Amino acid sequence: MSTNGDSALPAEVRTRLERGTHSVLIDTRALEAVRRRFDEDQAAALGRYLAAAQSANTLRAYRSDWVGFTAWCLAEGRRSLPADPVDVAVYLAAAADTVREDDPGRWALSPATLERRAAAIAAVHGANGLASPTRADVVRMTLRGIRRHRRAQPRRKRPVLLHTLEALLAERPAPGHPSGAARRRDALLLLTGFAGALRRAELAALSFDDVAVDTDAGTGEPLLVVRLSVTKTDQEARHAQQVALPRGRRAAMCPVCAFADWAEVLEARRDGGGAAVRALLTGEGERPDARAHRCHAYAGTDLADGTARPLFPAVNRHGGIGERAVSGRAVADLVKRYAERAGLDPDAFGGHSLRSGFATQAALGGAGDREIMRQGRWTNARTVHGYIRTANPLEDNAVTRLGL
């Protein structure tokens, strides 16, 4: 079976579902009742904080999942709200059997994706004051059966190790105008994602307000302190997580130098527009000190002015710098694009490759799990142990004592 259930949804219904509300988790009728009882400002405040209860990524995924389920119900003549538990179970089973159109040998949806779809159905029912059909045994047992049937190990993306990172950086656009802006931005993005063990969504969400230049107490050299607001494991930003990025041994691999280079471009754009950026970048490849560190006396930038200016805005092929931040998907595509330019399989890499590359490279360098967990903010040691085993499968392994 190879189908796309969303195609059965009429355009008018799809538009209403996708654009009608900001969140599939909010009962808009209940909010209307609030507006009748309270003033508009109070009702607006309630709606705003309810909308912030879930991350934007979760809401987008749930909205897409709900559209898909509604389309299937429409095509099958079933009711989506409230949904019958058997209908939900059949929907999940049919979705589990769907294969990719371009590769019939692979499943289209993973068990984790199917569980998220069930969670979306439950969330919409809850938002409308209805009992969730996913609590029924028939749905829970169906999901359990799908997990048992699909016991194959997940296909993990390859880690970007240090030598891989150098290969990716070597494939950046040439210095100068118009490609120099993307060259500088991408250097900072790759180095920050790798050294900071950041997820792609965390990278995309960074602003200049989140980055501060500090001093390494041990060496006196500058370092970057990156503050993370909302993360995958801290959706409410309760723990004020941060990571430190030290000065690199070489300027080409130095996050602090990369930050100074990129901040210089955005300062020029702010103060003089595109003409100033062009003047700055023209001829930069001929600078005699292009390979030297520039971060020794770097004290930071006034771009951190409280306006949440994106650290990684979009840059077009003409060197134009946008106002909005890149997306998490764009971060993954960037890693894939540079991997392909470096002669590597782009399908083997993704946004998580920078984070997993940090853990694997740190393990290769002899770092312990506690050290790796601190920078990567992992709370489960088993996850880190997996990276360590990947880095050195023979460490603490009795097979080395067999005398082969």
Domain boundaries, the chain: 5-149, 162-355
Domain 162-355 classification at class level: mainly alpha
Domain 5-149 classification at class level: mainly alpha
Mean pLDDT on 184-192: 96
CA 276 remoteness from chain centre: 32
Mean pLDDT on 20-25: 48
Name which of 380, 362, 361 is nearest 371 in CA terms.
362
R_g of the chain computed on alpha carbons: 25
Name which of 64, 71, 95 is nearest 1 in CA terms.
95
- What is residue 89's predicted lDDT score, i.e. its pLDDT? 93
Using alpha carbons, list the distances in angstroms from residue 6 to 47, 112, 309: 29, 19, 36
- The residue written with tokens 């749930």 in the block is 62
**Please, which residues bridge with residue 99 across strands?**
107
| Rounded to 5°, angle at Cα 186 from 385 and 162 | 35
What pTM does this model have?
Answer: 0.66
Whether 259 shows a pLDDT value over 60: the answer reads yes
Q: Name the percent of the chain lying above pLDDT 70.
A: 79
Instruction: Report the distance separating Cα 399 and Cα 404, nearest Å.
Output: 9
Instruction: Report the distance separating Cα 165 and Cα 161, nearest Å.
Output: 6
Instruction: Report the distance separating Cα 97 and Cα 109, nearest Å.
Output: 8
| Rounded to 5°, angle at Cα 366 from 362 and 371 | 60
Whether 404 shows a pLDDT value over 80: the answer reads no
Task: Return the minimum-mean-pLDDT range out of 4-18, 53-67, 115-129, 358-372.
Answer: 4-18
| Position with higher pLDDT, 238 vs 401 | 401
Sorted by sequence, the CB contacts under 8 Å of residue 97 that are 6+ apart come out as 1
Whether 401 shows a pLDDT value over 80: the answer reads no
Q: Would you place residue 5 in the very low, low, confident or very high pLDDT band (cuts 50, 70, 90)?
A: very low
Task: Return the minimum-mean-pLDDT range out of 93-102, 132-141, 313-322, 384-393.
Answer: 384-393
- What is residue 307's predicted lDDT score, i.e. its pLDDT? 92
- The residue written with tokens 């429409």 in the block is 74
Whether 334 shows a pLDDT value over 50: the answer reads yes
Summarised one tens digit per residue, pLDDT across range 195-245 is 999 999 899 999 999 999 998 888 888 899 999 876 555 444 455 688 999
Q: Would you place residue 272 in the very low, low, confident or very high pLDDT band (cuts 50, 70, 90)?
A: very high
Summarised one tens digit per residue, pLDDT across range 94-147 is 988 887 766 666 788 888 889 999 999 998 888 777 889 999 999 999 999 988
- What is residue 124's predicted lDDT score, i.e. its pLDDT? 86
CA 279 remoteness from chain centre: 34
Whether 4 shows a pLDDT value over 50: the answer reads no
Sorted by sequence, the CB contacts under 8 Å of residue 193 that are 6+ apart come out as 200, 203, 331, 351, 354, 355
Q: Considering the chain, what is the average pLDDT of its residues? A: 82
CA dihedral 319, 322, 326, 332 (to 10 degrees): -10
Q: Name the percent of the chain lying above pLDDT 90.
A: 42
- Do 212 and 263 form a contact (C-beta atoms < 8 A)? no
Pick left, alpha or beta for residue 336 (phi over 0 → left; psi -120 to 50 → alpha; otherwise beta).
alpha
Q: Would you place residue 169 in the very low, low, confident or very high pLDDT band (cuts 50, 70, 90)?
A: very high
- What is residue 238's predicted lDDT score, i.e. its pLDDT? 54
Q: What share of the chain is helix, strand, coil (3-state, %, to 5)?
A: 55, 10, 35
Q: Would you place residue 58 in the very low, low, confident or very high pLDDT band (cuts 50, 70, 90)?
A: confident
Strands, E assignment, 76-115: none
- The residue written with tokens 């059909």 in the block is 133
Residue 88 tokens read as 């939900």
Q: Would you place residue 26 in the very low, low, confident or very high pLDDT band (cuts 50, 70, 90)?
A: low
